[in-house]
Structure 1
Amino acid sequence: MELVKSGNSSLQIPGYRILRKINQGGMSTVYLAIQRSVGRQVALKVMSPVLNADPIFSERFQREANIVGQLSHPNIVGIHDIGRYRSLNYIAMDYMAGGSVSERLAKGPLEPLEALNVVRQIAMALDHSHSKGYVHRDLKPENILFREDGSAVLSDFGVARAVAHTTRMTNSGMVVGTPHYMSPEQARGNAIDGRADLYSLGVVFYEMLTGAVPYQAEEAVAIAIKHLTDPIPKLPARHALYQPIIDRALAKEPAKRFQRGLDVADATDQIVTTLAGKPSQQISQLNNASVGVSSLARALFLTLLSSLRDRFIKGWQVRLENPQQVDSVRKDQDTLVRLRQLVSEPTKHRRPWALTAITAITLLFGWSVHSTFSGKETWLSQITFSDSARRHTSDTTPSTPSADRSEEVQVRDVEKPPVKDLVQTQGQEISQGDSVNNQSPENSLSGNLPTQNSAVLSQEEPNSVPKFAFTVKTEPEDARVRIMNISPRYAPGIQLEPGRYDVEVSKPGYDRYRNWIIIEDQNHQLSVKLQKAYFAGKKIRSKLSSGGQGPQMIVVGSGEFMMGSNKRSNSRPEHQVKIPKPFAISTQEITFEDYDRFALATGINQPSDSGWGRGRRPVTNITWWDAQKYVEWLSKQTGQKYRLPSEAEWEYAARAGTDQTFWWKSSDARGKANCRRGCDSEFNSLFITKTGPVANYQANPFGLYDTAGNAAEWVQDCYQPGYDKNHNTSAPLKIKNCQLRSVRGGSMRDPSSRIGADYRKGLNENSRAKDVGMRIVMELY
């Protein structure tokens, strides 16, 4: 039972260990908690006790869980549990570590492509919700959250209703929703459908781009009137490219808006693919907001003028010796990164002169390209972007090393000759082998296609152009495939004319693949195997070949830290150690549940639990060699490389970025760990000392539990008193004929003075102790 103080009273929720308050509103309070039964972090939403007597609010709170329970979508928050304890209603749902759009807006407008990506993901979530018959009715920045991988998630269905009951009036006659984001029909109190949510999404998109809502007033009624009567707002000139989406989303009449979330997603794809290549003549049938050549040219022209204006202002400020940061120039780079690709492709139809001229002028102002000439056609290729620009070309995948690995990606018919020269871009030299564009000048269109195809591609005979089937087989199978330089959505077997196509394959948690392929005179199949991407804080659970999952791991990034302590004789000298690459370490000590699965599978004896219980308690009474056998078995079961951590890795993860003995930056260990003295542990008394279940106390900033106390942990190193001053790497210390191994973290049998991150001791590798267990590492690279 966990107690959380709230004013003069305490909140009790059985089955949950509440860590801290995340957010509080008038209707409920959200806590970060551990669901004890599975050791999972959840957001625990607890309804305000004051409102429990009101049946309307209680019904609304319960409705949220019932609705979300019927909606299964990667961009909709997941529900794990719903219950009532005494007078408290609560819901346990996914914990979103990335915060909300509202929190990001507090720091200023979002980057345009990031905002466009958020809109697309939430539009897909709304399309799913509407297809199930539910209208959200209260979409706003606070209700759009981010997972650890950066993907956007729609939350808070507390006021959602089925379409058959979508009047805006509650039983009390009150309009439900937030005035700044209400559609006109909501403000009138009329019946609504999913198009009202799409209007709200348009308002959020406008706010993400500009940092302000489109209609502002001091009173809610005045805001509602503006939604009903004021014209659709205009974006700043530098964002004119996105005005068609705003115009369609914020139309006063629902019939003139996007009709479903998929339409919005198509419109965002249209802009991205148009910028990535030539404006296509063929538009997806679901796309009701296409961007025509004339509107694109006008938007590019306005973007150029705005960029020039900002550069002039910035230069004038520097000249007056009063420099200020001008963020709009950098934000324009998001659009201009796409513009660089605009002229990188040979086109079937001649690009309109206005568009070509404006793009060419844009490129003259400081963006370097490498030109190649082929026959009568001039095209710019080998455009290489800076790292910051490249991050914005992927909508959901974290910034990771290139996934363009020839031994794992099979591309037929396309040669990849070595590229020797470099392109100077934004003051950086970046190899042209970058995955954003992996075509060399030798692989230009005219150099690869047969001569007769030139006639096929001419504008004079459009009806005679043959088409061929193109299919991408991906691993994993649910990876997303996009062809960036055409508007139609990719589908297996899509019919394409001869030419070059910019193919992107992506999935959150994996390196993004992007490359050019050539369709010549036959059907084409491309096989792509994505590599997993790892980022700090990412949680991993590998599947066991015998069934079930391995221990939960969390990625710890590379870095440097001061290891040891000059205050302890066996931890001297304090010295700097570099952790050269990320690694994954188990969030918890390996439990009896984990170890017993291994023991039963291999037929070895199960270690004693000392009468304290098994299950979620840390495994103890194992030797260092037992630990070695466990990680070997786990490696074979998962295909991953598991091992014990080195002392340096263990201490780096335990310190979690702090330079003090305890990660909580205080010498007071009460309520923070399980130890003999100084912790006030519930598992220790005058006559009894025992381990407690893992993750019973708060995790450190890296997400690791029980790095202090509970069970001490074997590591890989040979033990010697003090450190070798010449050993400054993260590799384990190896000594010939070693028998003593290092043990870290202290245990429930140690006082608080011996459970710090710098405390260490030696133990014979064949010893079994009731207070020594293990934590493990998985190698990532």
Structure 2
Amino acid sequence: MEVVSSGAASLEIPGYQILKKINQGGMSTVYLATQRSMGRQVALKVMSPVLNADPIFSERFQREANIVGQLSHPNIVAIHDIGRYRSLNYIAMDYLPGGSVADALTRGAIEPLEALHITRQIAMALDHASNKGYVHRDLKPENILFREDGSAVLTDFGVARAVARTTRMTNTGMVVGTPHYMSPEQARGAAVDGRADLYSLGVVFYEMLTSAVPYQAEEAVAIAIKHLTDPIPHLPARHSLYQGLMDRFLAKDPDQRFQRGLDVVDAIDQLLAAIEGKSPTPATKLNNTSVRVSSLLRALLMTLYGTIQDKVTTSWAKWRDKPIAESSGRAEQQTIMRFQQIMQQAQPVKKRSWMMAGMLCASLTLAWVLFTLFTEKFQWQSESTLVNDAVGITSQILLSDKVTQEPQLPGPVQADQDTLNPETQPTLRKVERAARSSEATQEPASSPVIGVTAIAEPAADASPDSASLEQNSGNTDKRTAGSPKAEAPETYALTVSAQPDNARIRIMNIVPRYEPGIALEPGRYDVEISKPGFTSVRRWVEIESADINLAVQLERKYPPGKTFTSPLNIGGRGPEMVVLDPGSFTMGNKRRPFTSPEHEISIPYGFAISVHEVTFAQYDLFARDTGRVLPNDAGWGRGERPVVNVSWEDAQAFSRWLREQTGQKYRLASEAEWEYAARAGSDRPFWWGDTSARGKANCRRGCASEFNSLFSVSSAPVGNYKANDFGLFDTAGNVAEWVQDCFLGDYSKHRGDASPVQIKNCELRAVRGGSMREPLRNISSDYRTGLNQRAASKEVGFRLVMEL
């Protein structure tokens, strides 16, 4: 236990070594401390004793703080511990040494591009919080901090809401929000949602660009009235490029604002793409803020106008020897550098646009010339010449291999019967049957029979100008009328009855497609019956003097419950997989906000899923083959331990490598596929039902795991605990697992099938199953959370699905 002196008072928090005071406000004091159990530095936030004296507030604060602990996002401060000691409520969270936006503003306005990136990151954080049903309500520069790498992090979630919900205090400082950053609906005292936070973010964005808030007055009431009634302020001319964003941020009517954080991200991405000379990606259906070329040009002209105006004003004042209220040299330098940057970046856009337009015109012109030439050439030739040319070319291609081995039929060979006049069909069929009979007498019985269609040559007295296909047909009939008529050979019906239904049936050594009861001449026929997911059957069928009925039962290639591994090209084998049958289940849990609503899922196809989480041994093989850095094992060991410290993108790269190595369709599971496999037919939160979790999972509290103790925690080797009824190990606890889906705050956008949820600009991916650090309630089959797809955690691994 540590004791820290702070003036006349002392602070004692068990488990923490408090190093120094970082900040103090009306509601809390923040200390830099070391968390002894983990050996890491944290920011320890201790609530004011005035608030802690209210027992209702303390109770509600603990509940709200637990909700904040569920907001797992790279741009939201992470909470490591929540507790109460001697009537003091405290929270241990990430220590963010980079200062705040407020600190940066003391040095002047922030560079526009930097302000855009900060705004984008906070918008992502607000979108995540809004999806969880949480509103910040006190967004301001002091609550946006920076990590050591410069990324922006949103802090102080939940405190303002907890005060509003739990007390009726009217003491100084106990307002919900800060007047300069309040939305109009907050100022009215009306109900608010995530759009109020986006209004506040717009105010912060305005302040970052101009180093001043948009609405200023002496009293809080006057500021609130300005938020309600004053028009949206115009940015200085040098920043007019961002006026469109500001209009959407600060709209008085929430319906006219950005509706969610991802709208802001889309708009900023398009603006950045336009500035950098790239083609902006299409906006999502929720976003209609796009940067047009005309808007960009108008903003550039306004920027130029503002700069020239500043210069003229300065020169006029100097000429008249009168001082003027000059802006800081930093702002003037920003104006010039910004304009030069935009102009330099905008120039390549114009060149590329002209180059693309020129290439398009040239391509269209060339296509028109070629079309004209071919059209004229075809008009010069008669129909008979066209037919003969086409047939001659076709015969050279199809019969080039048999010229020296087989007697060539008279006339051009192998024309497409579907393109000929219907009157020629009877004659052509006779010639075809004769050709087949001739080949059958020359080739062995086991060789494939290939049909050849002959077209009779035109009569000698036919004039070239009138030699059409119909005349050829008539001449052929005249030439064959006097000769003995060859008898057509007998044909017999072949019928194949295949199970399962809809199997594909082909006769491999003839041209006509198989149809039930197809009429075939006596001979041997190579019949193939196939269907995806089943073992193909291929047989030679002998037709002699009777109809043939062939019954075939295909066997499933991957029957349910079958386990298998796929060989790798570099040696070794892939993960062990188990086959699951199609099925349906109820997904979600209505008792949790982020797993609601419950909905029915039907999976109409079978699939295979890896029996174990992918291990270090399997991942290291991939990393060495592709030259990747080996992930850190957190000191728990490699080999058969589940791989950790891999991002969602790393997992995707592993699945692509496995596809290349095996030729099989490996990928991450969708959320629905994962939950179906984890439940293993159970409708309870855990696959083992309501019995004890002992010996079934590795978790922090409630599992009695030998890999977890009061002072240490680690992953367990795969397969250490009992498998569920589908034969899968560690679907609860051990390490959490990446899946394909974008992570949303609930299931409102999920469908009734098992396809993954994908949205534009998705960076937050779903993680399922809970980890060894989670309590028992957070490793149930329905539990889910989100993590940035580029983040790597020692609590997160993955398993794979193989499409059958």
TM-score by length of 2: 0.43
